[in-house]
Amino acid sequence: MKAVYVLNGPNLNLLGVREPATYGTQTLADIEARLKTRCQAHGLSLTFRQSNQEGDLVTWIQEAGAAGIPVILNAGAYTHTSIALHDAIRASSAKVIEVHLSNVHAREDFRHHSMISAVAAGVILGFGALSYDLALEALIAQSQTTKS
């Protein structure tokens, strides 16, 4: 593994100001800076993107899958509705770790089902911004295990 994509869906550009009791006070830029430092320490390049448009996320997942680059995906609300993201992951064979800042299972019923989980390599949720770090650590650990 030489690179990692971190893809963020709708409204994640509002982190730090949107419902801080639920999502925390760190901004997406804070998360990106921290992950960039961690990636550099492991010799990895980081592509970090956010879009409120479902089609952008589909394109980026396909791009990563074609290049064999693993993805940390916080699809936001698209998690619960997007067959397109599910299909993009499956069709491109992208290795995806699904991430959520909050524990979606402790929230509204409509957040309890994910269209992503069935095609994700794993799911990390409920640890705030630390969820991204945990996903990155999982990818690093898995890549080291496959080298052995």
Sequence spans of domains, the chain: 3-147
48: left (phi over 0), alpha (psi -120 to 50) or beta: beta
pLDDT of residue 4: 98
pTM, two decimal places: 0.92
Kind and range of the H or E run holding 5: strand 3-8
Q: How many residues does the chain have?
A: 148
- For residue range 88-98, what is the model confidence (pLDDT) as tens digits? 999 999 999 99
Q: What is the spatial distance between Cα 31 and Cα 22, in angstroms, rounded to a whole number?
A: 16
- CATH fold, domain 3-147, is Rossmann fold (3.40.50)
Q: What is the spatial distance between Cα 36 and Cα 27, in angstroms, rounded to a whole number?
A: 14
Residue 148 scores a pLDDT above 60: no
As beta bridge partners, residue 71 has 5, 96
Looking at the chain, the whole-number percentage of residues with pLDDT higher than 70 is 89
Residue 138 scores a pLDDT above 80: yes
- For residue range 45-57, what is the model confidence (pLDDT) as tens digits? 999 999 999 999 9
Where in the sequence numbering do the catalytic residues fall?
23, 100
